Amino acid sequence: MNPFYRSLEIIWENPRLVFLNEKRAKEVAQEITKEDLKIPSWRAPVFYQKDDENFVQLLGVENSINFAFTDFETKRKFKIEFKGQEWTGSFAMAGSLLRAIEEGISILDAEYLKNIRLKDILHIFRSIPNYPMPMLKERTEIFREIGRVLLEKYNGSFWNLFEDAGFRAFGPYGIVHQLRRNFPSFNDVSDYLHFHKRSQLLVMVYQGRALDSNGELPLIGDIDDLGAIADYEVPKVLEYLGILEYDSHLKEKILRQEIILKDSPQEQEIRAMTILAMKTLLEEINKLRKSPPAGEAGKINMCHLDYRIWKMGKDATNLPPHHLTQTIFY
C-alpha cells in the first residue's frame, strides 16, 4: 500500500468538485485489460543511453525540474529542435539537458549545479522561437538546491542516494522519503495532502530503464507500492474517458484555460481524485487479470498504467486542454 494514500482519504470520502465514476472505471478496466501493457525503457534520443551511474544522476537532475512546461500567458508548450526532431514538454527538457552534456556543460556535476546562474539556464533551455521554457528562475533555484544537498549528504551523487535507500522507494530510508525529506523542492505536500509526483516519477522512470538494462541497474524492490502520478496529463485523460467528472464551473474554467491556484480546493481535488481514479483502475484491471486465462502473470503495477494513460494524453489530438497551475511540483 502506498504510504501517502491515507492523507488523501478525507477528499476521497467527500469530494465536492471532482468525482469518480466507478462504473466507467470498471468499463475502461475491461478495455485496458485486453491490451499488452508495457513499461517503457526511456531510450528515446533525448535520453542518456548508457545504463550506469550517470544515467541515475541525469535522471535525478531531470526530475528535479520536471514540471510546468506550458507558458501561462501564451499557452504554448516548451519546444526545442534536437537530433533532427522537434520535442515538446518533458521530452524537450530532457533533450535540453542531453544537449548540454554533448556541448561539454557540466550539468551532472553537483558543484556546477550549486553555483549555476540564470544566464546558464537560459542557454541550456534555449528553445524554438516563441516556445520558451517557463519558470526559469524557479528552475535555477532548484538546480542550486539539488547541487547543495547532493554535496552535503550524498557526495554529489544521486546514485549514492539510491544505494543508501537500498533501491527501495519507501520506508524510512527509501528514495521517495529521502527526496522529500532532504530536498525541499521535492516535498510535494498541499496542506495535509501528500502527492509526491516528481519523486515517485523518478523511481518509475528508473525502473523502466532498469528492467531493460540486462541487470546493469538494480530493480526497485517495492515497485508495486508506487502510487499514481498526479500531474496535468493524467487527469485530462481520465476526465475525457469519463472516469473523472468535474463540477461544471471547474470544467469551464479548465476549458477557458484559466489558472487553477496552487493549494486551492479545485487543485487539491483534481490531484487527489486523479490518484483515487488510477488506484481504482489499477485494482480493477488486476482483478480481471488474476482470473483465467491471465492468472497472476498478467498482473500490472502503476508503471504500466501511468504510461498507458499519460501517453494517451500526449498523443491524442482531440482531448480538451489540461488544467493550468503555476507550481514547481508537476
pLDDT digits (tens, 9 = 90+) for 175-226: 999 999 999 999 999 999 999 999 999 999 999 999 999 999 999 999 999 9
Residue 324 lies inside a defined structural domain of this protein: no
Domain region containing 161: 5-315
Q: Is the pLDDT confidence value at 1 over 90? A: no
pLDDT recorded at residue 292: 54
- Phi, psi dihedrals of residue 117, rounded to the nearest 5°: -110, 160
| Mean pLDDT value of segment 86-112 | 98
- The helix/strand/coil state of 70 is strand
Residue 330 lies inside a defined structural domain of this protein: no
Residue 268 lies inside a defined structural domain of this protein: yes
Q: Is the pLDDT confidence value at 61 over 90? A: yes
pLDDT recorded at residue 291: 67
In the chain, % of residues over pLDDT 70: 98
| Mean pLDDT value of segment 160-188 | 98
Judge contact between 111 and 147, C-beta under 8 A: yes
Q: Whole-number mean pLDDT of the chain? A: 96
| Mean pLDDT value of segment 83-90 | 96
| Mean pLDDT value of segment 280-297 | 78
Residue 325 lies inside a defined structural domain of this protein: no
Instruction: Give buried/exposed letters for 233-252 (b at 16+ CB in 10 A, else e).
Output: bbbbbbbebebbbbeeebbe
Residue 323 lies inside a defined structural domain of this protein: no
Q: Is the pLDDT confidence value at 317 over 90? A: no
pLDDT band (50, 70, 90) for residue 293: low
CA atoms of 78 and 45, how far apart (whole Å): 17
> Which residues are within 8 A (CB) of 324 and not within 5 positions of it... i.e. 6 or more apart?
70, 72, 75, 232, 254, 257, 258, 259, 260
Residue 327 lies inside a defined structural domain of this protein: no
The count of domains in the chain is 1
> Which residues are within 8 A (CB) of 99 and not within 5 positions of it... i.e. 6 or more apart?
80, 82, 124
Q: Is the pLDDT confidence value at 286 over 70? A: yes
pLDDT recorded at residue 294: 47
Residue 329 lies inside a defined structural domain of this protein: no
The DSSP bridge partners found for residue 246 are: 18
pLDDT recorded at residue 30: 95
| Mean pLDDT value of segment 7-23 | 98
Cα 193–chain centre separation: 17
What is the helix (H) or strand (E) element at residue 158, kind and residue range?
helix 158-164
Residue 322 lies inside a defined structural domain of this protein: no
| Mean pLDDT value of segment 259-266 | 98
| Mean pLDDT value of segment 2-20 | 97
